[in-house]
Structure 1
Amino acid sequence: MKKALVFAAVAAGMTTLSTGVQAQDCTTKIGAALPTSVDWGRPIAEVAQFAVDQVNEAGGAGGCSIEMVLRDTQVDPKVGVDAAKALVDLEGVKVLLGAVSSGVSMPILTSVTVPSGVMQMSCCSSSTAFTKLSEEGKTNGLWFRTFATTGVQSAMGAKVAADKGWKSVAILYKNDDWGQDMSRLIAADFAAAGVEVTANVAINDAQPSYRAEVTEALTSQPDALYLALYPTEGKSAVREWISLGGTQNMILANSLKSDEFRDSVGLQYLGNAFGTDTASPRVESADAFKAAYEAKFGSQPNGPGLANSYDAAMIALLAMEAAGKDASGADIAAAVTKVTDPNGTAITADIAGFKAAKTTLAEGGTVMYQGATGNVRFDANGDVSAPAVVWKFTDSGTEEVEYLSLTEVDAFIASLKK
């Protein structure tokens, strides 16, 4: 898909994107509620459309060609809910991809997809509040995410601080579901790692200045600053922090893995800033996705959530294939286990793999999806585990500083609980 199509989607508010070959005489719509009006959100939507295009080239899913109807959430809960309602009520979708921010995904889940019986598959929402909601039986098995919970990022942030010898840290967090969850987990994990949390300050959207909040965080003169923010408020808060003499020792949530943030703050102030993120495992399927992405878009998939977005779309479409034509959202959700079966037939994440899956599923078998983030496994709450990476900014993007396998991540998290 060309970038112009996504920009057109933003300008129009909604668009139907379909560039695949029409292999069927019917069409099924899926919805995508994603933040295409921000620089890091557009590629997430593009890579979801890439998966749809591949599936259409493989003959579609559930007996029909697929159209992805895209609406912009603007990283705003109200806008996101309105977008989701339009996709469900007006477009009749049974599958919704999105949202990105937990603060947008949660109200969509509770007020739109669960009441309507629509399966929701998020690439990037990480709040542990979703796990709790599922444990309470309030998601009806309709919720899945291909991104590990905030527990991984908070633990890896504590590891960075401990490894760097930073003894104290102040936290600035976005005042929404995701940020509040991060704030709570970071404080606990840093304390367990022997790092003092000197301040834990909420940042609200769209304030003209964050000087009061930054001053509060700066009062104790911490060794480092942890930022659980998005680029819009993150760049403003960090500029205030630097101007007031705050340390350049920073730990960044993956939400700040953004050219917009780097360029607005200035690379010269980010030389000792280290980000954390979940990572694709070092496996052949992850490498294959990188190669396919580069061939399609002419760049490496360095932005946040790209591999996760691809897997979210592809797994949802595989489940649609397994559930069959005219399946309900609940039927599609129930079929996810058939396409992520560790004992199923291994398939690749591409056109050939989807064709192979069609054959296996038609014969009554199950498949083991091997995708951009490896062999995806959902637990009973729709959660996944993942390796992790520590990264830093460069002139051209980001570079990996350290990779931690799933075993290493689990071991470190376990050490914090002793």
Structure 2
Amino acid sequence: MVENDTRNRRSVLKVIGATGGAISLAGCTGGGGSSDAFTLGTLAPQSGGFSASGPSVVQGDELAVKHINEDGGVNGEDVEMIVRDTETDPNAGVRAARELIRQENVDALSGAVSSSVGMAIASMANQEEIPYIGGIGSAAIVNADCGPYVYTNNPSTYIVAQGTIPYLINEQGSQSIYCITADYTWGQTIQKTYEEIIPANGGEIAGTSFAPFGANDFSSQISKAIDSGADTLMMTLWGQDQVKCVNQMLQFGAREEFENIAMAWNSIALNKSMDSVEGIYAGGPYYWGIESDQNQTFVESYESEYNEKPPMASGMQYGSTTTLLNAANDADSISADDVATSLEGWTNDPYYKGGNQEFRPCDHQNVSDWFVLQGTAESERSADAEYMKVIQRRAGGEVVQDCSSACEALPAWS
């Protein structure tokens, strides 16, 4: 174990914002702190390119901690929570995580969003021997080091592709797919997965155009997609890049050029910024409109707390952090090794989806259901933020990659 005095306990709950200020988080602490209290370090991009996701990360963790504390906390003690800004930068993320571990003495880490940030934090978490769950960072955070302390609630690029592509080909008749894809690690990795999964399901790739993160003009990529003669357009971009590409695609009149149009991800905030999502397909590991009693309870609680439907990022953070804290309860310990051991192979009916999940031992990937969505017309929306509707639910075991192709070197806990 690294000698950094990480087992000292905290005396006060703090939430540190991007400015470094501290405020109390009401409802998430029993008062003065305890030698037996479990402290969670939340890493959120409160500045930088992914800062729009920062509040969702924090709110998802806040609500998970609140609910756990209302149910008796972890091992009878209220959970404490401290937040640090990753600045959407790997170096800053590592500095923030190191501060949480060595100065704040947290018992586990959660969050990140950016794949590169998450991978850097994962490497350090394994070195420091402290559990880390990447709520919505790339599944590559696990495979980076194949270490025993890191888990991911986020789907791998294989799950993203396998979750939606077969629906387009087998249910909607897509035969030729043109891909507009983000030109950085996440997009490049998922494009390689498309090149495997699209042909395996009987389709063909008509062409690919990569777009740099933060691009403003997607006219070249859209023109090439139209000229390719493909019957399906697949846009795999992140954040405002996705909004800009969709809106420019609509301005080009490209909706009429394709039989099917799809996005890799769904987000309430992004959908709201798009000129129209009617008929556009998307896929994701969570959507607030999932029909299950667990989810509706979660949605009502989230709305009561934050006056909005839970974004996907909040749902993913809530799920991963609830699982982490439940695993600590099950271990009856706040020891890093005990909590990490408890997480491996953890199977339960999760937090909101109304189905089963598992952090499988071979790669610490969360295996849970995937949802195919379709955009609604404004006239069809019966509820606020009902931009999409769930049209297919796929079991996690049907969309996850085989363990033999994942993190073979992972030293599983015994």
TM class, shorter-chain normalised? 0.7 to 0.9
1:233-244 aligned at under 5 Å gives the runs 233-244=241-252
1:58-207 aligned at under 5 Å gives the runs 58-62=71-75, 64-110=77-123, 112-127=124-139, 129-130=140-141, 132-133=143-144, 138-162=145-169, 163-207=171-215
Matched letter for residue 250 of structure 1 = I
* 1:262 and 2:278 correspond: no
Partners of 1:161 and 1:307 in 2: how far apart?
Answer: 25
Partners of 1:217 and 1:17 in 2: how far apart?
Answer: 51
Change (3 A) 1:264 1:109: same
User: Counterpart in 2 of 1:293?
Assistant: 302
Matched letter for residue 175 of structure 1 = D
Change (3 A) 1:214 1:116: farther
Change (3 A) 1:144 1:192: same
Is the deviation greater in 239-248 or in 310-319? Answer: 239-248
SS state at 2:26 partner: coil
2:44 pairs, out of 34, 38, 45, with: 34
User: Counterpart in 1 of 2:351?
Assistant: 371
SS state at 2:278 partner: coil
Once the 2 structures are TM-superposed, how far is the Cα of residue 154 of structure 1 from its aligned partner?
0.7
Once the 2 structures are TM-superposed, how far is the Cα of residue 142 of structure 1 from its aligned partner?
0.8
Change (3 A) 1:156 1:139: closer
Once the 2 structures are TM-superposed, how far is the Cα of residue 247 of structure 1 from its aligned partner?
3.8
Partners of 1:412 and 1:58 in 2: how far apart?
Answer: 32
Once the 2 structures are TM-superposed, how far is the Cα of residue 98 of structure 1 from its aligned partner?
1.4
Task: Calculate the TM-score normalised by the size of structure 2.
Answer: 0.76
- How well do the aligned residues superpose, as a CA RMSD in angstroms? 3.3
Once the 2 structures are TM-superposed, how far is the Cα of residue 272 of structure 1 from its aligned partner?
2.9
Partners of 2:390 and 2:69 in 1: how far apart?
Answer: 38
Deviations 1:10-29 (A, max 9, x none): 55256465222516751543
User: Counterpart in 1 of 2:367?
Assistant: 385
Once the 2 structures are TM-superposed, how far is the Cα of residue 412 of structure 1 from its aligned partner?
11
Partners of 1:89 and 1:296 in 2: how far apart?
Answer: 32
Deviations 1:249-286 (A, max 9, x none): 421112x4232x3343311xx32311111248865444
1:210-225 aligned at under 5 Å gives the runs 210-225=218-233
Partners of 2:315 and 2:97 in 1: how far apart?
Answer: 23
* Residues 271, 387 of structure 2: 8 Å contact kept: no
Deviations 1:142-187 (A, max 9, x none): 1112233332321233134222223222212223332222111122
Task: Calculate the TM-score normalised by the size of structure 1.
Answer: 0.75
Change (3 A) 1:29 1:40: same
- Of all paired residues, the percent bearing the same amino acid is 20
Once the 2 structures are TM-superposed, how far is the Cα of residue 31 of structure 1 from its aligned partner?
0.9
User: Counterpart in 2 of 1:403?
Assistant: 392
